[in-house]
Structure 1
Amino acid sequence: MPPRTSRKVRVLDGSFATELSNVVKDFFVQERPNWTFDAVITHPEAVIMVHKRYIDAGVDDITSNTYHASLSSLAQQGLDGPSLIMTVI
Structure 2
Amino acid sequence: MGWFSSSPVQAQPFTESSPAPPNNLASDLKSSADSKPAEKVKPCCVCKEEKVSRDDCMLFSRADDPQEDCKSMVDKYRDCMRGYGFKVQ
TM-score (norm 1): 0.29
- Asked which structure has the greater RCO (Cα within 8 Å, sep 6+), the reply is 1
Larger radius of gyration: 2
